[in-house]
Amino acid sequence: MAPFEALYDRKYRSPLCWNDISETVILGPRLIEETVQQVKVIQGKIKAAQDRQKSYADLKRMEEEYEVGEKVLLKSRRYSLDKSHVLQPERVQIDENLSYEERPIKILDSKVRSTRNKDVKIVKVLWSNQKYEEATREAEAEMRKKYPKLFAEG
């Protein structure tokens, strides 16, 4: 069984024979030769178009090499943006090893969630470099283990 037939559960119909499968078509050598010539012409035109596009792109392309420590200015294209969609960058405190860790600033709210077996105390925590709307709800027991100073203040 051919791969096409196994995949699509039908016989493959080549572009040379797109007639109904029930019709038997006898292709003469002349028709096949004309089709082959047309395919070669089409391939030639596609190749010419690709070469033309490549030559235009190559005119703008430049290969440059830089040394380690050399400063490079990268230029980006400007797009006209709506001012309401422009985001201001946030300042983030980075450690010496270039890592960043969110730290809780304060507890905004607390409540008890009841499940079938137990009651779980949950606190709403405001994290560093986040807005009030981005505060998360965390289990109080876990927060007391990780950040005991946060509960000592309040």
Cβ(108)–Cβ(125) under 8 Å? Answer: yes
- Does residue 3 sit in helix, strand or coil? helix
For residue 127, tell me if it sits in a domain: yes
For residue 140, tell me if it sits in a domain: yes
For residue 50, tell me if it sits in a domain: no
Cβ(109)–Cβ(123) under 8 Å? Answer: yes
In tens digits, the chain (154 residues) has pLDDT values of 577 776 677 777 666 655 555 555 566 788 888 888 988 999 999 999 999 999 988 888 888 888 888 888 877 776 665 666 666 776 777 777 777 778 888 888 889 988 888 888 999 998 887 777 788 888 888 888 988 888 875 4
The CATH number for 132's domain is 2.40.50.40
For residue 121, tell me if it sits in a domain: yes
What 8-state DSSP symbol labels residue 28? P
CA distances from 148 to 10, 27, 145 (A): 69, 86, 6
Cβ(49)–Cβ(43) under 8 Å? Answer: no
For residue 128, tell me if it sits in a domain: yes
Structure tokens at 128: 């560093």
Helices (H), the chain: 3-8, 29-60, 140-146, 148-153
Range of the domain at 138: 103-153
